[in-house]
Structure 1
């Protein structure tokens, strides 16, 4: 329970930092790369034991961080393009609705079971994500732009499903810090390659503001994954329940923090989403 709560708090802080990027005019792309480097170094710092690359390269999970690192940076850019073409609400809904992918995979491949009330809770969670994310007048997507939110949906679901797969099949408790660290390290490497390819399109500034923005994002970003993996190892809830509680609680908490810290105004639909989120959390957690 504590691990899940810490993962939710870490993930919610990420949204707060992104909001502060607008306030302080932080260059997002530079901060994102520094964020991944910071997250990688955080994991190496927390890893208890010698970091022997030979031993790491011989593990069964070594290929995972490379694949997930590429996926991380790719989905980030797809989310940005989705927000630009179809709106922030579409990008948010596509990202959080992807919780259905690890839920379905858990039920089919890992033999997990849901009670009737938990299933109802998951359906309510999807509705909660949709309504709480409606920060604009509505969600409209042109057919030609449909591919972007679909890719965000599939990619975000693939990330969560991958985390569950490696937690279930490959990782020991001692390997969680180094695995998480390598995921972010590979994401940083992918980002640097992306910058090298696209740097002609914009001027990148390595200054104090951008560096601090990356560090402020990188530490909670690392712990959001670290504590999520630890929560999945707990036998109290199935992975379906963990992913549902994690995603819905993040949406609810980030929405409420938006009101308190940034004076955001919610519509009736937004408040309905918050209420549905609370109900879904109660159903999934207690039943």
Structure 2
């Protein structure tokens, strides 16, 4: 249970950090690359045994690590854009209500329970994402901002589903740090490639503040994944229940943070969306 609580707290912190990126005009891509360099360093330093790159490339989980590494870069960028354009609470809801995706795969891949309440909860969750993401008084051009919450929804769901699949089938308990570090290392490589391509078109100084922002992001990012994997290794919880409890905790906590810390404004539709998000996720948990 302690790993689950830590995962909720640290994951909420990531949304807050992304919000500050917008306030302090941080170059998101550069900070994300630094973040992954820090995160994979923590992973390899935390692994107790010596291992070579060749051995890592022959691990059974390496293909899953490559897929997750690419997804991490893309979805972290989308998460940052969502937090800045739509707000911390919307970013949290869009990302964490994606729990419906791993729940769906949990039923079909692992034979986890499916009930009427779970189906109702999933349906309500989907409606909640839309309502919570709407902004009043926006032009049609500005409403294009809904693209980021939608991408975040499906991308986060793909990450959770893949993480669970690889953890169940390929990652031994004593290799969590090594696996996490490898995923972050691959994400860093993808990020550096993107930065390299961008620098060909236009060279700009890296910027000390982007490095500092990456370090601040990298440490909690590493532990958010480690604690989630460790929570998933608890055989007393179905993954559908664990993901649901984890995500509703993040939705509630980040909503409170958005209201208190950033004074985010909520329309009636947004409030209904948040309310439905909590109801939907609770129904899935009860089911």
The question of a shared fold, defined as TM-score above 0.5 by the shorter chain, is answered with yes
Change (3 A) 1:133 1:23: same
SS at structure 2 position matched to 1:221: helix
| SS of residue matched to 1:167 | helix
Change in CA separation of 1:175 and 1:153 when aligned onto 2, cut-off 3 Å: same
Residue pairs, 1:168-183, within 5 angstroms: 168-183=168-183
Partner of 2:269: 269
- Specify the alignment match of 2:67 in structure 1: 67
- Tell me by how many angstroms 1:174 deviates: 0.9
- The answer on whether the counterparts of 2:131 and 2:272 sit within 8 Å (CA) in structure 1 is yes
The answer to whether 1:156 aligns with 2:156 is yes
Report the Cα offset of residue 78 of structure 1: 5.7
Corresponding position of 2:32: 32
In the aligned structure 2, how far is the partner of 1:150 from the partner of 1:160? Answer: 16
- In the other structure, the counterpart of 1:99 is 99
Answer whether contact 1:40 1:182 (CA < 8 A) is retained. yes
| Aligned-residue offset at 1:200 | 3.9
Q: Aligned residue for 2:231?
A: 231
Residues in 2 aligned to 1:261 and 1:279: alpha-carbon distance in whole angstroms: 24
CA contact (8 A) 2:28 2:80 kept: no
1:93-242 matches, within 5 Å, as 95-137=95-137, 153-242=153-242
- Change beyond 3 A, Cα 1:138–1:232: farther
- Determine the C-alpha separation between the residues in 2 that align with 1:191 and 1:172: 27
- 2:86 pairs with 85, 88, 91, which one? 88
Q: What's the CA shift string for 1:127-184, capped at 9, x where partnerless?
A: 4444333355479699x99988766554333222110111110111111111111111
How many Å apart are 1:79 and its aligned residue? 6.0
Indicate if the aligned counterparts of 1:128 and 1:248 stay in contact, CA closer than 8 A: no
CA distance in 1, matches of 2:59, 2:217: 29
Does the residue aligned with 1:255 lie in a helix, a strand or coil? Answer: helix
Q: Is the 8 A contact 2:18 2:80 kept in 1?
A: no
Structure 1 segment 39-54 matched on structure 2, within 5 A: 39-54=39-54
Q: Secondary structure at the match of 1:59?
A: coil
Instruction: Say if 1:2 and 1:83 are closer, same or farther in 2 by CA, change over 3 A.
Output: closer
The number of residues matched between the two structures is 285
Contact 1:34 1:188 in 2 (8 A): yes
Distance in 2, Cα, partners of 1:259 & 1:26: 23
Structure-2 separation of matches of 1:201 and 1:251 = 39
Say if 1:125 and 1:244, in contact at 8 Å, map to a contact too: no
Give the 3 Å change call, closer, same or farther, for CA 79–166 of structure 1 in structure 2. Answer: same
Q: CA deviation at 1:27?
A: 1.9
Name the structure 2 match of 1:21: 21
Q: 1:259 to 1:151 in 2, by over 3 A?
A: closer
Aligned 8 A contact 2:92 2:254 in 1: no
8 Å contact 1:94–1:153 — kept in the other structure? yes
Aligned-residue Cα RMSD (Å) equals 3.3
Please report how far the alpha carbon of residue 20 of structure 1 lies from its aligned counterpart in structure 2 after TM superposition: 1.0
